[in-house]
Amino acid sequence: MLQFYKSRFARFFVHDCKQTCCWNCHKMIKHKDCEFFCKNCNKLLPTEYDNYFSLFDLPKDYDIDPSKLLKTYKGYQRQIHPDRFFQASKNEISNADHVSSCVNQGYKTLSDPVKRGEYMLQLFKFDTKADVPPDFLMKVLDIHEQIDSASESSDLVKLMAENQKDFREENAKLKESLRVDGDKVADPHAAAESLAKMKYLSRIRDAIREKLPVDLL
């Protein structure tokens, strides 16, 4: 199983350079042969990745398979967690820290709908900031007032259900707006607006969670 993940690293951790040199055995590795581990001495290389999607063997698309993302993440962590290199050389320890950090950050980004959406826009060189309609802001303020004045857990549970519904609907719109067509996404401006709304909805969710009993979360 570990060898399987090692081979996948070889596919996705690739330099944009024409060739590089292994820090341990000094073997020159051509671009097409550049891997996560040196083929000659099997030492961990300070390699990079193209983007988080390629790192996790996923298409560059907002609509990803969360279960595949999690499975790949766990496999990678078993392979390159810094604890596996505690007796290794300083170079390998440093490389393991760096790569593990990249893998963790990549997982956090892709597993979160809002962060993943923002990352998609950044990859396609679009602004992630957008204003939301005034009526949406008024609705948000009203919901926060309802949360503050709620005296029964049932009221909060109802607000949570409504908020989850709104989030799912906005997420569906975001998925369509970020549909990839060649080197473009369908509607980056609509995507940025959906992301802004989803951030507000996430704050509402967090505010409700703070007041709800643990057994009702």
Global pTM? 0.83
CATH of domain 127-211: 1.20.1280.20
Domain boundaries, the chain: 31-111, 127-211
Cβ–Cβ under 8 Å, residues 27 and 82: no
Looking at the predicted structure, is the pLDDT value of residue 99 above 50?
Answer: yes
CA pair distance 11, 14, nearest whole angstrom:
7
Which of 1-5, 106-110, 176-180, 207-211 is predicted with the least confidence, judged by mean pLDDT? 1-5
pLDDT for 215: 62
CA atoms within 13 A on the CB side of 162: 14
CATH of domain 31-111: 1.10.287.110
Looking at the predicted structure, is the pLDDT value of residue 18 above 70?
Answer: no
pLDDT for 72: 92
Looking at the predicted structure, is the pLDDT value of residue 13 above 70?
Answer: no
pLDDT in tens, 125-143: 999 999 999 999 999 999 9
CB neighbourhood size of 123 (10 A): 15
